[in-house]
A and B are shown apart, each in its own frame.
Chain A
């Protein structure tokens, strides 16, 4: 009972604090913009902890955050091994190969309007399909280890990336291309000095979409078979053993890896497309 009352008091206090902060005169400062969502997140964790303890929810249904944190601290070697297997070997390899192949394909079909007219609708169509369903097929072809996961990721990121890159290569206007022409710039010079740099915002848009897809592909592909490590493997095994604290620990790591991956690509974008209006302050 005292847990529940405590949770209620904390919730009301945090809620009031957030409303006050959001309407105060400092609401446009950086600190408040960071503090308000942080307080919201902490409130959710406190409510979660308090309700699980107060209502005595068994940990096979919902472990409290403190238990998950303890599990994370206890099993860092396992979590690290799973992260390397799924993220570094599976997702990252597939991401690099898939995005690279898509950019190269986009440049190859760039000179042929016929191929673009044909490939773009097909690519757009395929990008909307549940490509994750190719996972069982690719696991059969490439075996249980990380190669099959990388293959799933390649298939998943290829089409969104292709569509974005082709769009990006169209971003220059006639005047800019004419200028390159008056400089006697060849096709490749125009491509590398003008059109690819101008395509970077669109390319990075594709790269950012692909970060999430890569992690999803690598994790779900492990549900169809994997060696005895990997985040997807650990999740499905621990779910079967009702070790939900470990499942939550893996989800925590996956969330962390996903945000870090996205953040890294966004940082890179900031450095490369510093000239674009969306990066101005």
Chain B
């Protein structure tokens, strides 16, 4: 309990300070418009009018936090989830691409890591590239993947006919899902490879020697020693992979068609100067990232505890 208080009070103080600065900044940054309006109308604005006005503009330079919360409430609770203005709708589209990409990317990453640990030729040829790829802004290929995959017609998760046969209609999230998932997978792939290779190599020589004296086979060593000791590394890489997959999905939505998802909300918001909409999409994306990484963290704590390697 003591440690809780030790963190919670400072964190709350910091968050409260950020809020105060934010409100002050939104008065300051939005005031120009108010003064311009007043000058045009030939009136004076008092300070209280200025504050009131700067916190309730339609297209503020910096929306006040309560405006973002209102917009979030309006676009999640008050809109039907199938509506194109619902953040739940757009969030689900981003989430589906993120999760599909994450599953493929991490799955392939783990498989490649297993290959690298067991095959020296593979290790020596692939590993330097996997490490080097982390210094490269891979995300730059996103627009190209989207366009190329739509040129060859591989965009929908299930084609229109197949989806209609199964569900009676084609669910919206399936349209244009594949390119986004491919980019999300690509971004989560390399961190997982590097992390898992480290994890599968984490047993020390003493432990490996012990299994050798037991005459354990390679697969037995893998299942009983390497895989269990890689668990902490696995969860760390899963968290990085999840964050990467979400960024990949959002950035690929900037060029994907139909223009849907949280990334698309940000883009259309920036076209039409709808700043509140951009902030709402940003907060939705942040909440999604926090939730997804939080879920992995919970599974991590539970399984490390069960395995007896929790700190």
Contact = CB atoms under 8 A, between A and B. Distances in A.
Task: Specify the main secondary structure of chain A where it touches its partner.
Answer: helix
Given A130-B285, A215-B137, A117 B7 contact: yes
Contact of A117 (B11, B281, B285): B11
Given A130-B246, A239-B255, A232 B140 contact: yes
Contacts of A129: 285-286, 289-290
B19 interface: no
A22 B135 CA distance: 25
Contacts of A219: 137, 139-140
Interface stretch (B50-58, B102-110, B125-133, B227-235): B125-133
A255 B136 contact: yes
Contact of A212 (B121, B134, B239): B134
B143 A239 contact: yes
A116 B14 CA distance: 10
B294 to A, nearest CB: 10
A259 B126 contact: no
B256 to A, nearest CB: 12
Interface string A118-159: 110110010011101111110111000000000000000000
Contact of B143 (A60, A135, A236): A236
Nearest to A220: B251
Contact of A140 (B10, B137, B275): B275
B135 A259 contact: yes
Interface stretch (B35-43, B264-272, B302-310): B264-272
Contacts of A215: 137
Contacts of A27: 120, 124
B151 to A, nearest CB: 6
Interface string B223-265: 0000000000000000100010011001100110000001100
Nearest to A222: B140
B148 interface: yes
A154 to B, nearest CB: 16
Given A41-B129, A128-B289, A133-B285, A119 B140 contact: no
Interface of B: 6-7, 10-15, 18, 61, 120-121, 123-129, 132, 134-137, 139-141, 143-144, 146-148, 151-152, 239, 243, 246-247, 250-251, 254-255, 262-263, 266-267, 269-270, 273, 275, 278-279, 281-282, 285-286, 289-290, 293
